[in-house]
A = this chain, B = another copy of it.
Amino acid sequence: MQKLGVGMLGYGFMGKAHTNAFKKANYIFYPMPVETELISICGRNEDKVREAARRYGYQRWNTDWREMICAPDINIFDNTGSNNVHEEPCIAALQAGKHVIVEKPFALNLEEAKRMSNAAKEADKKGIKSIVAFNYRFAPALRLARRIIAEGRLGRIYHFRSQYLLDRFSDPQAPFIWRLDKKQAGSGVLGDLNSHAIDMMRFLLQAEPLSVMAWNTTFIDKRYDSDGIVHPIDTDDASALWLKLENGAMATFEASKVATGYKTMWRIEIHGSKGGIVFDLSKGNDLQFFTKDDPLYLQGMRTINATEPEAHDYAKYWWPRGHNLGWEHYHIHMIEHFLRCIATGEDIAPWGATFEDGLRCQEIISAALQSSDEGRWINV
């Protein structure tokens, strides 16, 4: 069997998570319809990228992504770089016939997102696949949520509610990093966290917003980097968002990186005429589900530990029921899906996020930025 060669841009948090996913997919979902080989990893600091190549078993390394794009033994280009190096490398890779994975937030702005989405559409005609790494679409409990909703068990949807709350920057002394810089990151938690939530709403409800109201706030207006240099902060520490959905439902979002008390808490609640769903990433193997189908005296929110083979497609490959997965496994499932789509020609959608999904998410984020500035609803 031919193996697909992987070229990885970035060796930080996400580069590690994606690399781990490629390594594990080969033996966990055995036999994969196609296997992969780690060819090259790319970063600007040669010492560090060389070390990363050794650590993860890449055959070589690059300091310029352009070298990767033209390498004939690289079939998949995985872009885990910061937002400001998404557009150019992704489009170049797609045009060079590489399958592309890109981390979120998808793009720095709407124009970039449109060009990237167009490039993906063109590539798709030639069988070249692309995916945005909205990894939570591959969390078993959330896949189960999608199934329950699609089965009509919630009835007419009234509410979608998301709170994505971290405390990583609640200390005013927490140092400046690139994620806090608008030029590199596009926005703060709006793009970093609410992009996940917006995509998840679209994924779960299969519904689109008609208009957006947003409120972004920066609590700590300057921070010092590790060299002691002060940086004014031009990205949001917290972002509240309302989306009027086409089906009449209210979708409300809040994201914060100064939510002291929560290391990583992402709570999703959905209420319909017949049932409800609650998910909390800090107990990520579990889905809470309420149905009015039970007799009234037996009704209650139930906690489903989504580790049964009946509960999701990936369970049978892992451990016996009741043995929990961790955060890293969502990425592994995503890579499996991506590779299977490449091998079989299946569509990335609806289980994975296409570049069109990335564009749609960016449209909402862009509208949110405008709405927050102008203090009014913006149609999308």
Contacts and interface: CB of A to CB of B under 8 A. Distances in A.
A276 B260 contact: yes
10 contacts: A31-B55, A158-B259, A159-B258, A217-B248, A217-B250, A295-B310, A301-B303, A302-B303, A323-B327, A323-B328
Contact of A260 (B292, B322, B327): B292
Contacts of A242: 215, 240
A146 to B, nearest CB: 12
A298 B240 CA distance: 31
Contact of A326 (B269, B296, B324): B324
Interface stretch (A85-93, A107-115, A160-168, A340-348): A160-168
A305 B321 contact: no
A288 to B, nearest CB: 8
A248 B31 CA distance: 47
Given A261-B269, A264-B321, A301-B302, 7 more contacts: A158-B219, A165-B269, A170-B273, A213-B213, A240-B250, A252-B254, A295-B310
Contacts of A273: 170-172, 258, 260
A66 interface: no
Looking at chain A's contact residues, the main secondary structure is mixed
A233 interface: no
B311 A297 contact: yes
Interface in A311-332: 311, 319-329
Contacts of A286: 300
Interface in A175-216: 213, 215
A88 to B, nearest CB: 27
A40 interface: no
Contact of A252 (B154, B172, B240): B240
A307 interface: yes
A289 interface: yes
A237 B249 CA distance: 12
A325 B278 CA distance: 21
